[in-house]
Amino acid sequence: MIEAITSINSAVNGVVWGVFGISLLFIAGIVMTIVNKGFQFGHIGHWMKSTIGAIFSDKHITKHTGKDDRAISQFQSLCTALAATIGTGNIVGIATAIIAGGPGAIFWMWIMAIFGMMTNYSENVLGIFYRRKNDKGEWCGGAMYYLRDGLGAKKGCKKIGAVLAVLFSCFCVLASFGIGNMSQTNSIAGNMNSAFGIPIWVTGIFIVILSALVILGGLKRVAAVTEKLVPFMAVLYVIGALVVCISHIGMFGEVFTAIFKGAFGMKAVGGGVLGYGINMAITWGFKRGAFSNEAGLGSSVMVHSNSNVKEPVRQGMWGIFEVFADTIVVCSLTAFAILSSGLVDLETGKMISENAGSGLVGEAFATVFGSIGPKFIAIAILLFAYSTVLGWSHYGSKAFEFLFGTKAMVVYKVVFIVVTFFGCTMSLSLAWDLSDTFNGLMMIPNLIGVLALSGTVAKITKNYVDRTFHGSKEEPMYSAFEDVQKAQMEASEEE
């Protein structure tokens, strides 16, 4: 049975992450960058000031909503989104990319992130623009809504929009059990066992109990936990990785050289065939980049749409920062820690270390911290992976809600919590393969929607830029359902 599942999964994975899938992901990033006139480049100071800068200067960014308001703050939406994206992909995923694609994979990861910033931005803009409120007063937004109500509103596209919305939701529910559950809990259990000797079943029970306490409490409880957990775990890991990098700073010149040479096939991975080497570098750089920051998957938009903000572009800028923080900062630090620690032959790209995944990162940290290094990574994975479980529990529940209604969400949450235990005991390779496959399946309908609605994103962005930088007095483009949502947003602000 397992062999059959693996065989089918490998075939599907090869299709969605082959030339078609990677090309679609890359093209979407380029198109959204062009139609929005390079917003991530031309307005870098503005989106930095409006995101990370605003946390320290604008109390409305971090201010919690009222008890009866089911929305969450902008900062909470970012933390919940980062909780889902900053996970094992930032540690295990980067190590895997270097092993399979060589140092050059890191360059293509950067490229994917640079253009992915605008894909993530566009998803958030569309998410806010097409969101609605459910029976409980909670915002509901995401790819399924802009596929159904955005793409579906175009002439002759009503049926295709509805079908793609359902397909995306189905794939998202399945992906939540892969990328957001099994692969994460599997990594937690394996690392806690190898680092501290804790039995896998004990870790499984602990995760089930902890997850139940948070997830069954709803989005506000998830957001309350992630806004405390994410800054702590990110700062802790970044400091540790910086110490490793600074300790090996003399290697940085060679590391940069290896990354750029490997990216353009100037040397083959592991001494192999030149063309094969560059193909693997591009493929693994793009795959791990997408797995890490999730730009193009249509996942994080589901929590960004719950923000109490009413300006689509303002939430879109948090999407840009999300990719920047996840990939350009955290993933790059992991890569440099590995490559500067002497575990990879920088001339050929061949692995010197026999470790893989988190073991490779733990070995890199051990070059500076000694025996504490692997334990530090085990704890980092525990925090990163558990926060991902919390974030993805929300994504899956919103997709399940779209398919079966608000009342059915509790069924999904219970099943999701139970699966965390089985994720601890399953095959690591199968868990990761399933994650890649479901990621790709989510990506396809989402990107079709983003590309089809690129003109809408461009108009909303132009409207914001003209009002913010050129003094235009035109009416803001806040919502596609202005008559309904204007009253809802005003009511939320008054509370």
Q: What's at 116, amino acid-wise?
A: G
| Tens of pLDDT, residues 327-348 | 888 889 999 999 999 888 887 7
Segment 299-313 shows an average pLDDT of: 84
Segment 105-119 shows an average pLDDT of: 89
Q: What's at 408, amino acid-wise?
A: A
Segment 232-261 shows an average pLDDT of: 88
Q: What's at 206, amino acid-wise?
A: F
Taking CA atoms, 398 is separated from 113, 140, 212, 302, in Å, by 26, 7, 17, 7
The domain 24-63+71-471 is classified under which CATH number: 3.40.190, 3.40.50, 1.10.357, 1.20.1740? 1.20.1740
pLDDT at 362: 86
3-state helix, strand, coil in the chain (%, to 5): 80, 0, 20
Q: What is the mean pLDDT of the chain?
A: 79
Q: In this model, does residue 488 exceed pLDDT 50?
A: no
Segment 454-465 shows an average pLDDT of: 94
Q: In this model, does residue 491 exceed pLDDT 80?
A: no
The C-alpha angle 265, 266, 270, rounded to 5 degrees, equals 70
Q: In this model, does residue 479 exceed pLDDT 50?
A: yes
126, 315 contact by CB (below 8 A): no
Segment 316-337 shows an average pLDDT of: 90
pLDDT at 454: 94
pLDDT at 271: 43
Q: pTM to 2 decimals?
A: 0.84
pLDDT at 124: 92
Beta-bridge mates of residue 351: 344
118-132, 193-207, 359-373: least confident range: 193-207
91, 111 contact by CB (below 8 A): no
427, 331 contact by CB (below 8 A): no
> b/e map of 221-244 (b: 16 or more CB within 10 Å)?
ebbbbbbebbeebbeebeebbeeb
Q: In this model, does residue 281 exceed pLDDT 70?
A: no
pLDDT at 274: 41
169-173, 293-297, 399-403: least confident range: 293-297
Q: In this model, does residue 495 exceed pLDDT 50?
A: no
16-20, 169-173, 397-401: least confident range: 16-20
The DSSP secondary structure of 235-248, one letter per residue, reads HHHHHHHHHHHHHT
Return the higher-pLDDT residue of 490 and 219: 219
Share of the chain above pLDDT 70, in %: 77
396, 412 contact by CB (below 8 A): yes
Beta-bridge mates of residue 307: 72
pLDDT at 174: 86
Query: 422: buried, middle or exposed (CB in 10 Å: 19+, 13-18, 0-12)?
Result: middle
Question: How far is Cα 397 from Cα 172, in angstroms, rounded to an integer?
Answer: 9
**First and final CA of the chain: distance in angstroms?**
54
| Tens of pLDDT, residues 427-450 | 656 656 666 677 778 888 999 999
Which of 191, 105, 224, 122 is CA-nearest to residue 384? Answer: 191
| Tens of pLDDT, residues 59-94 | 665 555 555 555 666 666 666 666 666 666 777 778
Tokens of 454: 């690129």
pLDDT at 220: 67
Residue 214 pLDDT class (50, 70, 90 cuts) = confident
Radius of gyration (Cα) for the chain, nearest Å?
Answer: 22
Tokens 């930032």 belong to 90
pLDDT at 69: 52
| Tens of pLDDT, residues 36-50 | 999 999 999 998 888
Question: How far is Cα 345 from Cα 291, in angstroms, rounded to an integer?
Answer: 26
